[in-house]
């Protein structure tokens, strides 16, 4: 009996994109997804760049709203408004997006087994073997190769000796009713989301997603923020049940092995500054599919043959992830007073406007903006005074 070429564990954006590309290249692919419907329980704000929509030909039907501006609030309430003429970001319906991308993979020929939880994965010399539970029934499956795209918290890669993501944070989010907020807002400060940030992202004229990232007590901070925004009149009373999700901040040290690749959140391919993982997951999914296609074609699925995947995605994202993580760790050490000072410096010296005018300022690529910011004389002086680790030894 012929084995399927690849089994993909997880039918989220990264897994479905790998499946779609592999199927398109003529491979037999099976996707195992534990939910009955892809995206059914995704906890996500769904904010992605316009570039992501264009690059991956994302269906207009899943876009709820477009945004070309954002208001950022410092701990004491100093406001920076970032605005550009063109659409910068799109807010998508995550469940509809996951369904659309899975539908596309199926149109190309990938088979989906939903309601199927993979319990174990073993790599043999000539195949991979999986044990799963499919709607209450035990299921054993074999394939030539496996792609782990099971999101944050899956232990499959760790059990196979690939380690675990180096650092993570918890994201919490609730749907709220608003009085008609039209702009994306972000809030900073120790009392709001210590070391991270909170957001209010409108999905329609009267609804928004309110969320935050925190290493501790995320629900408590969300309840407090909700109360504060209610007092300010931005949020209307409403019953809200939050959802939670882990967000990797540092990638897996190793994302490949014999007959094996890891993509998306499972590999920690996430922007460390914002926690957004959809775009990087999709980019890496394409690299994974290309690498696997070549390996399947040449019938060489050795770890060495698949190592090119990691080289390629690190070449594309490595500097971003490194600079982003460094900036993130630095930000986590700032006091509210220091954050306020940065906001007022940026605002009073027009640095925000200069950054906005820079061609290379991007929703997806933050490294350039971070370097530009710390390269700015006034900011660099302020950071020196705060003893920023990446500036030690550097002349402002």
Ligand X SMILES: Cc1cc2nc3c(=O)[nH]c(=O)nc-3n(C[C@H](O)[C@H](O)[C@H](O)COP(=O)(O)OP(=O)(O)OC[C@H]3O[C@@H](n4cnc5c(N)ncnc54)[C@H](O)[C@@H]3O)c2cc1C
CA distances from residue 193 to 103, 250, 336 in whole angstroms, order as listed: 37, 20, 11
Question: Tokens 């037999």 label which residue?
Answer: 28
Residues 6+ apart with CB under 8 A from 318: none
Q: Is 27 in the site for ligand X (CB under 6 A)?
A: no
Nearer to ligand X, 207 or 347 (CB): 207
**Strand, helix or coil at 228?**
helix
Q: Is 42 in the site for ligand X (CB under 6 A)?
A: yes
R_g of the chain computed on alpha carbons: 22
CB 247 within 8 A of CB 168: yes
Residue whose C-alpha is closest to residue 214's, from 184, 246, 166, 243: 246
Residues 6+ apart with CB under 8 A from 137: none
Residues 6+ apart with CB under 8 A from 243: 41, 43, 172, 173, 174
Q: Is 50 in the site for ligand X (CB under 6 A)?
A: no
Judged by CB under 6 A, which stretch of 182-190, 259-267, 326-334, 373-381 contacts ligand X?
A: 259-267
Q: Is 62 in the site for ligand X (CB under 6 A)?
A: no
Q: How far apart are CA 68 and CA 84, in angstroms?
A: 6
Judged by CB under 6 A, which stretch of 76-84, 123-131, 231-239, 275-283 contacts ligand X?
A: 275-283
Out of 19, 20, 27, 35, the only residue in the binding site for ligand X (CB under 6 A) is 35
Q: Is 47 in the site for ligand X (CB under 6 A)?
A: yes
Tell which positions 128-157 bind ligand X, by CB under 6 A: 149-151, 154
Judged by CB under 6 A, which stretch of 68-76, 116-124, 312-320, 325-333 contacts ligand X?
A: 116-124
- Tell me the per-residue interface mask from 206 to 235 with ligand X, x by CB under 6 A, - otherwise: -----x------------------------
Q: Is 93 in the site for ligand X (CB under 6 A)?
A: no
Tell which positions 281-320 bind ligand X, by CB under 6 A: 281
Total of chain residues touching ligand X, rule CB under 6 A: 41
Residues of this chain that interact with ligand X (CB under 6 A) are 9-15, 32-35, 38, 42-48, 116-118, 149-151, 154, 171, 173, 211, 245, 247, 264-266, 270, 275-279, 281
């Amino acid at each position: 009996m012929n084995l399927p070429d690849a089994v993909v564990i997880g039918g989220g954006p990264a897994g479905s994109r790998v499946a779609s590309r592999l199927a398109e290249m003529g491979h037999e692919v099976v996707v195992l997804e534990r939910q009955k419907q892809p995206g059914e329980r995704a906890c996500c704000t769904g904010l992605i760049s316009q570039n992501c929509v264009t690059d991956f030909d994302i269906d207009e039907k899943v876009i709820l709203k477009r945004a070309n501006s954002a208001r950022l609030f410092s701990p004491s309430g100093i406001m920076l408004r970032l605005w550009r003429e063109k659409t910068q970001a799109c807010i998508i319906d995550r469940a509809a997006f996951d369904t659309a991308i899975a539908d596309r993979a199926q149109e190309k020929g990938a088979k989906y087994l939903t309601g199927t939880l993979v319990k174990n994965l073993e790599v043999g010399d000539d195949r991979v073997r999986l044990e799963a539970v499919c709607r209450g029934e035990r299921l054993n499956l074999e394939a030539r190769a496996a792609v782990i795209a099971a999101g944050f918290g899956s232990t499959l890669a760790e059990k196979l000796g690939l380690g675990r993501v180096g650092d993570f944070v918890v994201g919490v989010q609730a749907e709220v009713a608003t009085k008609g907020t039209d702009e994306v807002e972000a809030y900073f400060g120790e009392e709001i989301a210590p070391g991270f940030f909170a957001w209010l992202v409108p999905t329609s004229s009267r609804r928004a997603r309110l969320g935050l990232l925190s290493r501790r007590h995320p629900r408590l901070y969300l309840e407090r923020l909700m109360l504060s925004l209610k007092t300010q009149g931005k949020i209307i009373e409403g019953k809200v049940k939050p959802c939670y999700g882990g967000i990797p901040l540092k990638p897996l040290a190793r994302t490949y092995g014999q007959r094996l690749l890891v993509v998306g959140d499972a590999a920690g391919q996430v922007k460390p500054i914002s926690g957004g993982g959809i775009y990087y997951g999709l980019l890496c999914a394409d690299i994974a599919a290309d690498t696997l296609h070549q390996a399947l074609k040449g019938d060489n699925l050795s770890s060495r043959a698949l190592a090119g995947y990691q080289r390629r995605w690190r070449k594309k994202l490595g500097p971003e992830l490194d600079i982003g993580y460094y900036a993130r760790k630095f930000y986590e050490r700032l006091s509210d007073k220091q954050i306020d000072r940065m906001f007022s410096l940026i605002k009073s010296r027009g640095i925000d406007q200069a950054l906005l005018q820079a061609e290379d300022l991007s929703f997806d690529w933050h490294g350039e903006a971070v370097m530009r910011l710390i390269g700015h004389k006034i900011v660099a002086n302020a950071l020196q005074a705060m003893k920023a680790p990446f500036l030690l030894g550097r002349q402002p």
